[in-house]
């Protein structure tokens, strides 16, 4: 498709389980961002890739969160030993050029519920 694709759309995990969320950006887009959006809040920055390089991971809340984009295209956000406070919508966005100054194209998000 032409847009950003995220999977799964919905994920229910038991506390302590590991989860992996996938993002397929728009083909050719250089930059990729992950955001976490809690209910009723704006998106909170997690991490940023330029091609395969992770240039900023300052927003990752703990060392349980890990993101990769090994070939500069598809990205995976992994959360280990999930906790209830990890419940949120995880949004992925891609940008045509380097940096975040251009238009962000968002996917529909992956809604994670940790029981």
Partner 1 sequence: TQLLEQSPQFLSIQEGENLTVYCNSSSVFSSLQWYRQEPGEGPVLLVTVVTGGEVKKLKRLTFQFGDARKDSSLHITAAQTGDTGLYLCAGGYNKLIFGAGTRLAVHP
Measured from the Cβ of residue 63, the count of other Cβ atoms closer than 10 Å reads 7
Question: Least Å distance between CB 81 and partner 1?
Answer: 26
Question: Least Å distance between CB 16 and partner 1?
Answer: 28
Which phi and psi angles does 21 have, rounded to 5°?
A: -115, 135
Q: Given the complex with partner 1, which of 17 and 54 has the nearer CB atom?
A: 54
Write out the residues near partner 1 by the rule CB under 8 A.
Answer: 4, 33, 35, 40-45, 48, 55-56, 91, 93, 99-101, 103-104, 106-109
Q: Given the complex with partner 1, which of 18 and 103 has the nearer CB atom?
A: 103
């Amino acid at each position: 498709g032409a847009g950003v694709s995220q999977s799964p759309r919905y994920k229910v995990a038991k506390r302590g389980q590991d989860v992996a969320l996938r993002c397929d950006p728009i083909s050719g887009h250089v930059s990729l961002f992950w955001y976490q959006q809690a209910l009723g809040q704006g998106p909170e920055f997690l991490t940023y890739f330029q091609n395969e390089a992770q240039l900023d991971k300052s927003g990752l809340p703990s060392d349980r969160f890990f993101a990769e984009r090994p070939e500069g295209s598809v990205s995976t956000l992994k959360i280990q030993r999930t906790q209830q406070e990890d419940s949120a919508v995880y949004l992925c966005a891609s940008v045509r050029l380097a940096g975040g100054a251009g238009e962000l194209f968002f996917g529909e998000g992956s809604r994670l519920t940790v029981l």
